[in-house]
Amino acid sequence: MSQSTMAAPCGDGLSGVCATTPDARLPRAAALTDALLAAAPKGAAQRDAAQPHDAAVAALGSDLVRGLTGVLAAASRARRAGQASSDAGRPPALVRIGHYQIASALGGPERARRTGRGAGAVRPFRWNSRTARRTIALAALRTGLDGRAPTPSEAVGLVLSDPGGPFGVGRVGPGSCADWVASLAPPARAHVAAEATTWATRLWTALDWGRLDPGSLAVGGADRWWRWSGSAPEAGCNGEHPHRPCRVALRGHADVRLTPASGAGGSSPGGAHLAVLDGEPGASTRQALLLSALVDVLSGARSPGAAPPPARVIGWWPDCGRAWVVPVDARSLAGAANAVVTAAATLLGADAPGECAGDR
Amino acid sequence: MVDGGLAGGLRAWLEDVAAAAGRDGGGADLPGRGRPAAQVVVRDGALVSTGEGGRLRPWTLSDLRSSLTRTIFRLVTTGAALRHPLDDALCALSVTDRGDDVLEMVRRLGGRDRAALRAFARARASSIQAQWRPVPPAWLPRTGERLRVPLAGGAVSLTSTADLVVGRPSDGRSSVCLVRLPARGAPGVGDAAARTRRALALAETLRSGAPPLRVATYDPRTGQVACDEADGAFLTAAVLDVVGALERR
C-alpha cells in the first residue's frame, strides 16, 4: 500500500509542503519513521547543512534583523503617537517568540475566536498537568529508550519517583518542573502522571525506534535559542527620545531531533525535527513548524560548531493522526523569518510589517 | 485483518458530505491555506455548534460532577490510591488547566451542596472501584485522549474523547479498545450512548487508519457497560450519524 501524499501548491509564495495522510498504510509508525529518515530533497537548504551557503544564510539573518529593526521602529512610532510619556505603554525588554507566538500571531482572528484570546494576548506560563506532560513524557521516553523501563507508564513512574534526579525532568530550582512536581500531593501527582503517560505512549508507539540510530537521535532536550538585541527611540520627558533596548529571542523547539549522518550526501538522511502537537493543523502551522529549523540555521551561522539544520521538519498531530512534512529550503526559511517579524509586530504593538526581502 | 481501504473510503464519503456543509465557509486543508471562518463541530456524532467548538464557557455544577467522575475513573484505572474521593479528585483537578475554575466553584458551594458533592464523589468512587482495576502497563493505557478529525479543510470537525484507550496501535489487525464515560448530563445507555460509541469508533478509524477492536461506554451511575465491535456496518452507521447531523444544520 502506498502512502497518500499531497503537495501544496507553490505558486502563492509558499514553500512546498507535504501533508501525509497515510490512511491505508499500517503500522502508522513505519510511515512516520520513513519521513524522519527520508533523504534530503535535492535543491533544499540541506545542502546548507553539509556545505553551508554562507551568503544565503547571512542574507536570511540580515533580512530578519532588518525586519525586526523595522518592527521596533514602528512600535516606537505607534507609542509616541498614541501616548504621552508613561511607563504604561513601554515595550517589553524581552520578547520571546516560539511556536505559540507564531501560531497566535498568524492564526489571528480564527485562533482568537476559537480560544477566546486575542492574538497579542500574553498568557503567563504556569505549570499544570498539560504544560508539564511533555517534559515528563520526553524524560520518560529517554528512560524507556535506554532500557530502564519497559512501558511508558513505568517510565513515567520512574521519572516522577525522583523528578530532580539523574533520570528526572531536568533543571531543579525555583520555577522548574522538577520542583513543581515534587511539591504535588499524591492525587495531583497521579493525575500528572496519567497525562504524561498518555502523551508518552503516543510518541512511544508513533515511531519505529529500532530503525533510528541512537547516536544521531535526541529526544527532548533543551530548546535552542537565537537572540537579537535592538533599540528604538522612546517618548521621553521634555521631548527627549532615549533609546530603549529590546531583545528578541527565538525559541527552537522539537520533540525528536535526528541529526544528519556525517558525510551525508545527496541520498543520505539529512536530519529532521519532529514536533508533537495538539489538535489539528492550522493556517499558521507551517511557519511555526519551521521555527526550529530557522533557529538552527541562524545559530549555525554564528557558531560553526552548532548543530546543523534539519532537512525537514515534521509536525505530527496524534489527536487527528495527521503528519505534515515541511522541507527546509531557502524560501520556506524566509517565510518563517517573515512569520517571526509578524509575531514580533503583534507582541510589540506595531503595524503589520512588510515582508523580509528573501520571501519573494 | 484490517481492510486497508476502509478508513480512506469512510473519509472520502465524509469529505463529500462535509464539503457541502462547509462550502459557505470555503477554504481547504491544503497546507498554507487559511481555515474557513466558521467551523462546524460534530461531537460524538451530534452537531454541537457552529464556529464555537473550542471556546471555553463558564464552568457549571454539571461540568464539575462530570469532571469528578472522569477524574475518579482516571485515578482508579491508572492505579492511584483513593482515600477521600472528593478531596483526592479535587486535588487532581487542581492541576488541570481549569483547576482554578474548579476550586473556585467548590469554594462557593454552601454546606449542603458540598455535602451532596462529597456523597456524589463517594458513590462514584465506590461504583468505579467495584468494577475497574488498574490497567496493566503492558496494555499501554492512555487516559483522557482527545480525538479530533478535520474534514473539508477544517470546515467541519469530528470530535470525541476516550476516557480510556488500551492496546498497541494497529499493525494490520484491530488492536485498540476505547472506553467512554457519559458526556456531561447525557444518559449512559440507549441511543445517545450507542451514537457516542459509533462516533468514537469512527474518529479512531479515521485518525489511525484502522478500526478499533471494541468500543465501550461505561455508566458509573448504573454500572452498565455497553460494548460494540467496530465492523463495517457499525462504522457505516457512524458515518450516517454524521451525515444526518450535518443535514439537520
Kindly indicate the confidence band of residue A233, based on its pLDDT and cuts at 50, 70 and 90. Answer: low
- Interface predicted TM-score (ipTM) of this complex, two decimals: 0.92
Cβ <8 Å between A28 and B209: yes
* A231 touching B (Cβ < 8 Å): no
pLDDT tens digits for range B119-138: 999 999 999 999 999 999 99
Cβ <8 Å between B142 and A151: no
Residues from chain B contacting residue A110 (CB–CB below 8 Å): 34-35, 37
Provide the shortest C-alpha distance from residue B140 to chain A (in Å). Answer: 7
pLDDT tens digits for range B172-182: 999 999 999 98
pTM of the full predicted structure? 0.87
| Residue B117 near residue B207 (C-beta atoms within 8 A) | no
- The verdict on residue A31 lying in a domain is yes
- The verdict on residue A8 lying in a domain is no
pLDDT tens digits for range B8-22: 999 999 999 998 887
pLDDT tens digits for range A246-261: 899 999 999 999 987 6
Q: Under 8 Å CB-to-CB from B98, ≥6 apart: which residues?
A: B56, B59
- The verdict on residue A202 lying in a domain is no
- The verdict on residue A356 lying in a domain is no
Cβ <8 Å between B35 and A26: no
What pLDDT is stored for residue B39 in this prediction?
80
- The verdict on residue A184 lying in a domain is no
Please count the other Cβ atoms lying within 10 Å of the Cβ belonging to residue A55. 8
Mean pLDDT for A114-130 is 70
Q: Under 8 Å CB-to-CB from A243, ≥6 apart: which residues?
A: A231, A232, A233, A234
Q: Which of A125, A136, A153 to mutate to test the interface with B (most CBs of B within 10 A)?
A: A153
Tell how strand A217-219 and strand A256-258 pair up.
antiparallel
pLDDT tens digits for range A195-213: 999 999 999 999 999 999 9
Specify the number of domains making up chain A: 1
Q: Pick from B54, B92, B209: which is nearest to A24 by CB? A: B209
Which residue from B176, B242, B186, B171 is spatially nearest to B218, judged by alpha carbons? B186
Query: Which residue range forms the structural domain that includes residue A113?
Result: 17-125+221-348
User: Is residue A120's pLDDT more than 80?
Assistant: no
What pLDDT is stored for residue A294 in this prediction?
95
- The verdict on residue A152 lying in a domain is no
What pLDDT is stored for residue A265 in this prediction?
45
- The verdict on residue A353 lying in a domain is no
What pLDDT is stored for residue A67 in this prediction?
94
- The verdict on residue A59 lying in a domain is yes
| Residue B95 near residue A191 (C-beta atoms within 8 A) | yes
Mean pLDDT for B43-62 is 72
| Residue A283 near residue B35 (C-beta atoms within 8 A) | yes
Provide the shortest C-alpha distance from residue A7 to chain B (in Å). Answer: 8
Mean pLDDT for B225-234 is 95
Please count the other Cβ atoms lying within 10 Å of the Cβ belonging to residue B8. 18
